[in-house]
Each structure stands twice: as structure tokens, then as C-alpha cells.
A and B are shown apart, each in its own frame.
Chain A
Amino acid sequence: GQSLEQPSEVTAVEGAIVQINCTYQTSGFYGLSWYQQHDGGAPTFLSYNALDGLEETGRFSSFLSRSDSYGYLLLQELQMKDSASYFCAVHPGSARQLTFGSGTQLTVLP
């Protein structure tokens, strides 16, 4: 089976840096994705890691350690609009279904 664990809530202030961790246990692993979802909205793709290391996309970075079954999403220079739920999701195989964590609710305070 598959299971992913991530914190349920994180709070930070505008301009700060926040890290959202994700640990996973899966029967197959092809990569780890991160999605952002605002209340009532669709999940929006943020980043994808298939290999160990750091991927940077603007203010967002994502890290993967396959040997530790661990990844994180790093958000820098937080803005109010970053308040949303963030999900890590495992790809058990190429072009296959995503298995999502329960999500981390990020609240950015002024």
C-alpha cells in the first residue's frame, strides 16, 4: 500500500520562509509532486522530483531523498496569497495515478 505523512497545519508570517515535510511509504516510487490548492479551487501543480536533490522554481523549491523516503517543499518570501493547502503526492509509476497526502494547511499572517 501507499501512505504519506505531512503536517496538518503550518503558520508563518509574510516574508518568512517555511518548509513543509513529507515522508512516504509506497510499494513503487517514480517521483514526488507537490500541489497547491486554495479553498474551493483545483489543485495546481508546483513541482516534481524524480531524482535526489533540490529543484527550484521561483520562490518555491522542492527536495527529495529517495533513500530516506522523504521530501520537502520550501516556500520563500511568503505572501498572503500563499495561504492554501499543500499536498505531496507520490507517483507509484510513470503516467500512473497519484497518491496524495492529507495536505498541510498553510496560513500566512501579516
Chain B
Amino acid sequence: SAVISQKPSRDICQRGTSLTIQCQVDSQVTMMFWYRQQPGQSLTLIATANQGSEATYESGFVIDKFPISRPNLTFSTLTVSNMSPEDSSIYLCSVGEYSGANVLTFGAGSRLTVL
């Protein structure tokens, strides 16, 4: 399965600032996703990162707040903009393949605390 490098692993940020999280995969993958997991909760899909086009956002998430880039098949970024304490969460990059297995693999996550 793909090996994912996600950074930063954690950060503490001030209210009103923005943070960009990077996700690097060791192989070309068809699909890349960004998830949020708040304390004690399950994963919530933020968006699907599409290579060469705008990301597809889930209900409740908008591009202005969570701009996403995916310049190629191995790399994506998620920016959390104009942060507030409610954005404190773990953000996870995930990749999947249209293969028979259809397995999702996750990065180690980025733990964000907004003061």
C-alpha cells in the first residue's frame, strides 16, 4: 500500500491565522481525501482533492475556509484559513485506488490546536 508523509504532525496556532498541511505520497494515486477528526468523534470527510481541478467539498465545508491544492498525483495540501478554536482537530490525509481492493490508507494526521 501507499506510504503517506503528512506534515506538520502538530501545531499550535493563533486565532485568525492560517495553516497549510501537506500530504506527500510515495506513488501516484487516483484519489486523495482530506478528513477531520474532532476529539472523541469519527472521521468527517472535508473534501476530495482532484488532480488539476477544484476539490469536491462535502456539505458544511467551503473552499474559502479549506482551500485545497493537488498539483499532481502524489501531492496535496489543505489550508485551514482564518482559524478559530473550533478548528482545533486532527486533520488526516487519505489515499485510495480504483483497484480491486479499494483500500484507503491514511497519513499519520496533523493535530491542530487553535488558541
A, B assembled together = no
Chain A residues packing against B (C-beta within 8 Å): none
